Chains A and B, each alone.
Chain A
């Protein structure tokens, strides 16, 4: 199977999707969700995915009108040069903030659980350095690396879940509706951010071998991740019950609690290594996409050279919050509530503009000719 250089296959794309979106369930996102919807948290990924699939569908439909063009190009053609520029700038700024806060979260996790006396800045700088190095190699390499490790990541994740079922009680999910149906719907709308990365992933559409493969990959990844996140949350709820509320990083609390019989009691380091590999890929891809946005915005062709500089900027932004608690309580919760709706809004606006401009009709007449 020969591939044109620099193009991603469908499996590489799905692997990137899984690592970028699926790994959110292994940081503090579940804890933030739990604070609002308690024992009904497990419904959120599925409901959010369901809600987010509408704007995503519209977006993919709109994008299919413009072959081989990425999201920013489409936005600029549809919204015009000036409005388009500001919308793109907005997306870039928001996703920059997201990556800064997310990387900081990971640094916090590594520091609190594994390297307790190492200064935050050192861990953070190392994380960013690795990601910048990877991202500079280009999306094709990121895709290959993602595909290489995605199986290990999933296998380790499922092993952790399987081991933790020893101490779970399924009754924890009752009362089935948790805080009530209204709150669940409200939160699943707000928490669309979980899948907001799929919106950003449309930026690398020209890098994927075929746009049909891209669409197919997006849907496969979306369904897979929503189910997987649901199962992960379900396991956390059944394992921790109400104490999940006071647990900042449930995945790490879980792997620290697990043991393989009495002879292998402390096995978290095994999961940690694989988890950190997946984190590297996640932020490498994210960093690449951000650089791509920046390049597109300011018409810089060789945007790969910007990556180290951008990584440094993100490192500085991410260092602003003083303590881990600020990050997840204030910044992260805010981002998690707003970003998804913003992306969804833009997707719907894009589709509406295309509809009003009559682009879909043109497509039909083009096809019929």
Chain B
């Protein structure tokens, strides 16, 4: 009897093993093709969009050491479709494997398409698809997204998922591109009070770009030479209610990133006019770190809203072109004021642009207005968008110089 019982128990175990295999949702890695980048363009046909898929080859680079296959690391296909969900099926007429958005990293939209009202509808499909993650990045390309993917040929990071991940991570750390995930896009869209910034990118350089300050460029304007991939990530596209309305340069994007406490900027290297040289011709480099959150105070009573923003920054001075002695307190004060002034000007320029040109603020400043109201109804009556455009904004950078750099008392002229 006991033996029979044991046999039955073993059988039960075996039966229980079967559902583990999951007959319906079984996925074979061999059989999957992962879309890393998705491009969206305007289509010539009415009511359709042009979908580009950048598919990664999982075989490339996955083997440690030697071996590996001679296959190409990626495949790109472009075709017209009604939406990018059903496009997965259509793409199977070309791609041999089962197409999946599980590892989708970036959605690239052409500037042309982002300016059309149907863009937001097309992108909203990503909420419906269960494979697309909300942490996917949204980028706007200067050229057509289909051309962008073809032209983008990274030299070092040939595996596309790594390339985009690193490119974007470091761009955000430097503050030159915004942290534009789908999550933030839809959150901003729902909130309806602020503007959204999407990273701006291009794979084709301008013909004769002018030389500018280190961060004033837009994508495609940096004239880099050498043996390189011409893709550039800098600046941002501004979206209002899910439609692109303008652009911000790298510098303006940085300013927004410093203002916005919800992005994780690491440290920013930038140049500030040197107050010790004549007419402030030369510049010195500083490293800006932001460890504390901004302090925002508002005065919402009265006709004009008044907004006071204090930006606490830690600054490290990296170069000293005029060889000033920073042990002197007067010089310390002078340079501190200069940095504060520079940052203030940058911010004032941004707020002026957002009040006059963009008619909205490209980061969630409206959050800070909420606490002055008791109920949602009162807040709605206050009408943030209108109040912001007319608001008085006072910016006060609080600079803390943590390091004046290595002090060289005498210029090393004699040695030369």
Contacts and interface: CB of A to CB of B under 8 A. Distances in A.
B61 to A, nearest CB: 16
A18 to B, nearest CB: 28
A118 B374 CA distance: 47
B349 interface: no
B11 interface: no
Contacts of B22: 115, 118
Contacts of A116: 25, 130
Contacts of A113: 130
B368 interface: yes
B187 A253 contact: no
Interface string B183-220: 10011001100000000000000000000000000000
Nearest to A240: B187
Given A169-B367, A178-B376, A242-B191, A256 B19 contact: no
A119 B25 CA distance: 10
Range for the number of chain B residues in contact with chain A: 20 to 34
A38 B376 CA distance: 9
Interface in A120-153: 122, 126
B169 interface: yes
A133 B211 CA distance: 73
Given A169-B262, A242-B190, A262-B169, A122 B24 contact: yes
A177 B374 CA distance: 6
Interface in B10-68: 19, 22-25
B371 A171 contact: yes
A257 B376 contact: no
Contacts of B370: 171, 174-175
B242 to A, nearest CB: 13
A293 to B, nearest CB: 29
A176 interface: yes
B79 interface: no
A159 B134 CA distance: 19
Contacts of B264: 166
Nearest to B182: A257
Contact of B133 (A126, A246, A266): A266
Interface string B356-376: 000000001001101101111
A117 B25 contact: yes
A175 B370 CA distance: 5
Interface string B361-401: 00010011011011111110000000000000000000000
B134 A253 contact: yes
Nearest to A256: B133
Most chain-B Cβ atoms within 10 A of its Cβ — which of A176, A242, A246, A256? A242
B135 A177 contact: no
A171 B368 contact: yes
B92 interface: no
A180 B377 contact: yes
A264 to B, nearest CB: 12
Nearest to B166: A262
A321 interface: no
Nearest to A245: B190
B220 to A, nearest CB: 27
A112 B127 CA distance: 12
A115 B130 CA distance: 10
B373 A243 contact: no
Nearest to A117: B24
A187 interface: no
Given A241-B187, A243-B190, A257-B135, A175 B25 contact: no
Contacts of B261: 169
A318 to B, nearest CB: 19
A175 B190 contact: no
A186 to B, nearest CB: 14
Given A171-B370, A175-B379, A241-B191, A115 B25 contact: yes
B277 interface: no
A259 interface: yes
Contact of A176 (B127, B130, B374): B374
B384 to A, nearest CB: 12
Interface in A338-364: none
B291 interface: no
B165 interface: yes
A278 to B, nearest CB: 19
Contacts of A119: 24
Given A243-B190, A245-B190, A265-B135, A175 B374 contact: yes
Interface string B255-285: 0000001101000000000000000000000
Listed from nearest, the 7 A-B pairs whose CB atoms lie closest are A174-B370, A171-B367, A118-B24, A175-B373, A174-B371, A243-B190, A115-B25
10 contacts: A169-B262, A174-B371, A174-B373, A175-B375, A176-B371, A176-B374, A241-B191, A242-B187, A246-B190, A256-B133
